[in-house]
Structure 1
Amino acid sequence: MYQSRLVQHIRELPAKQRERFRQFVHSPYYNQHDKTQELLSFILKKLDKRPSSLSKERVFKALFPGEPYEEQPLYNVMSYLNKLYYKFMAVQFTEKQRYQESLFTLEEAFDNHQFDIMTNRGKQLRKRLDKDPVHDSEYFMASYRLNHAVGYYSGHYFDRAETNTFQQMLDDLDKYYIVEKLRNCCHLTANSLILNTSYEFQMLNEVLAHIQANWGSYHAERSIVLYYTGLMSMLEEQEPNHYQRMKSMLDREMKHLSEKEGRDLYSFAYNYCIRMINAGESAYQLELFNLYKQGLRQDLLLDKGMISEWDYKNIATLGARLKAFEWTEAFLHEYRGKLPPHRQENAYNYNLGNLYYNKQMYEEALSALLLVQFTDVKYHLSTTFLLLRTYYALQDTEALLSLIETFRIYVIRNRKMTVEQKRGYTNFLRFAKKLVLLKHNAAYSKRDLGKELESLKDKVEATENVINKYWLLEECQVAAQERAAKP
Structure 2
Amino acid sequence: MNNSKLLEVLRNLSTRAQHRFSEYVHAPFFNKHKPTILLLDFLMQYAPVFDLSSVGKEQVFYAIYPHKKFSDTQFNYVVSKLLELLSGFLAYQEYETQAFQQKSNALKAVHELGVPKQAASHSRQHQLLQKQYPFQTVDFYYQKYHYHTLLNQIHLDKKQRLYDVHLQEQNNQLDYFYIAQKLKIACDMLSRNIVIQANYEAHYIKDLLSWLEAADFDKKQHPLIHVYYQVLKTLQNSDDKAYQQLKVLIEDYGKLFLREELILLYDYAENFCIRKINNGITSYYKEFLTIYKQKLEKHLLLEDGYLPESDYKNIVTAGVRTKDYQWTEIFIHKNKKKLRPEVQENAFNYNLAVFYYATQQYSKALKLLMTILFTDISYGVGAKTIQLQIYYELQEMEPLINLVDTFRLYVMRHKTQSDYRKKANLNMLRIVKKVAKLKEKSTFMAEKQFEKERTKLQLLYAELSPLSNSDWIKEIIEELAQNASKY
Q: TM-score range by the shorter chain?
A: 0.7 to 0.9
Matched, 1:430 2:430: yes
Q: Is the 8 A contact 1:148 1:169 kept in 2?
A: yes
Deviates more, 1:83-92 or 1:155-164: 155-164
1:95-106 alignment runs, 5 A limit: 95-106=96-107
Output the CA distance in 2 between the equivalents of 1:239 and 1:390. 34
Counting aligned pairs with the same residue, the percent is 30
SS at the partner of 1:186? helix
Going from structure 1 to structure 2, the CA distance change for 1:58 and 1:383 (only over 3 Å counts) comes to: farther
Counterpart of 1:257 in structure 2 is 257
Equivalent in the alignment of 1:40: 40
- The residue correspondences of 1:72-87 to structure 2 (distance < 5 A) are 72-87=73-88
The 5-angstrom pairing of residues 58-457 of structure 1 reads 58-65=59-66, 67-157=68-158, 159-238=160-239, 240=241, 242-339=242-339, 347-397=347-397, 399-415=399-415, 424-440=424-440, 444=444, 447=447, 450-451=450-451, 454-455=454-455, 457=457
Tell me, in whole angstroms, the C-alpha distance in 2 between the residues paired with 1:253 and 1:420. Answer: 35
Distance 1:181 1:104 in 2: 27
Q: Alpha carbons of 1:417 and 1:310: their partners in 2 closer, same or farther (altered >3 Å)?
A: closer
Indicate the larger mover: 50-59 or 205-214: 50-59
| Contact map agreement 1:243 1:272 (CA 8 A) in 2 | yes
2-side partners of 1:192 and 1:343: how far apart? 33
Contact persistence 2:111–2:119 (CA under 8 A): yes
Query: Deviations for 1:391-418, whole angstroms, at most 9, x for unmatched residues?
Result: 4334454543333222222344444567
The one-letter code sitting in structure 2 at the alignment partner of 1:408 is R
Cα distance in 1, alignment partners of residues 285 and 154 from structure 2: 57
Query: Per the alignment, do residues 223 and 470 of structure 1 end up closer, same or farther by CA in structure 2, a change over 3 Å counting?
Result: same
1:180 to partner: Cα distance: 0.7
Structure 1 pair 373–38 and aligned structure 2 pair: CA distance change class (3 A): farther
Residue-pair matches, total: 485
| Range with greater deviation from structure 2 (181-190 or 223-232) | 181-190
Change (3 A) 1:481 1:245: closer
Once the two structures are superposed, what CA deviation does each residue of 1:277-310 show, in whole Å capped at 9, x if it has no partner? 3444444322332222112111223345444443
What TM-score do you get using the length of structure 2 for normalisation? 0.88
Between 1:65-74 and 1:18-27, the stretch displaced more is: 65-74
Distance 1:6 1:465, change over 3 A: same
- Preserved CA contact (<8 Å) 1:391 1:397: yes
Mapped to 2, the partners of 1:175 and 1:159 lie a distance apart of 28
Q: How many angstroms does 1:250 deviate by? A: 3.2
Q: Matches of 1:7 and 1:255 in 2, distance apart?
A: 40
The residue type paired with residue 302 of structure 2 is L
Q: Does the CA contact (< 8 Å) of 2:277 and 2:285 recur in 1?
A: yes
- Determine the structure 1 residue equivalent to 2:479: 478
Give structure 1 stretches of 5+ with no counterpart: none
CA apart distance, 1:127: 1.9
Distance 1:335 1:159 in 2: 65
Structure 1 residues 202 and 287, CA, compared in 2 at 3 Å: closer, same or farther?
same
What are the Cα deviations for residues 114-169 of structure 1, in whole angstroms up to 9, with x where unaligned? 43332211111112213434332222111111111111111221533223111011
Q: How far 1:53 moved relative to its partner?
A: 3.2
- The alpha carbon displacement at 1:357 in A equals 1.9
Question: What amino acid does structure 2 have at the position aligned with 1:226?
Answer: V
Cα distance in 1 for residues equivalent to 2:82 and 2:320: 51
Q: Is the 8 A contact 2:316 2:328 kept in 1?
A: yes
Q: Give the residue type in structure 2 aligned to 1:299.
A: H
Secondary structure of the residue aligned to 2:444 is coil
For the aligned residue pairs, the C-alpha RMSD in angstroms reads 3.1
Query: 1:80-121: per-residue Cα shift (whole Å, max 9, x none)?
Result: 222222222212222223422212222333344443332211
* Structure 2: segments with no counterpart, 5+ residues: none
Q: TM-score, normalised by structure 1?
A: 0.88
Alpha-carbon separation, structure 2, partners of 1:94 and 1:286 = 43
- Give the AA of the match of 1:156: D
In the TM superposition, residue 221 of structure 1 has moved relative to its aligned partner by: 0.9
Larger RCO (alpha carbons 8 Å, 6+ apart): 2
Deviation at 1:187, TM superposition (A): 1.9
Counterparts in 2 of 1:315 and 1:46: CA distance versus 1, 3 Å: same
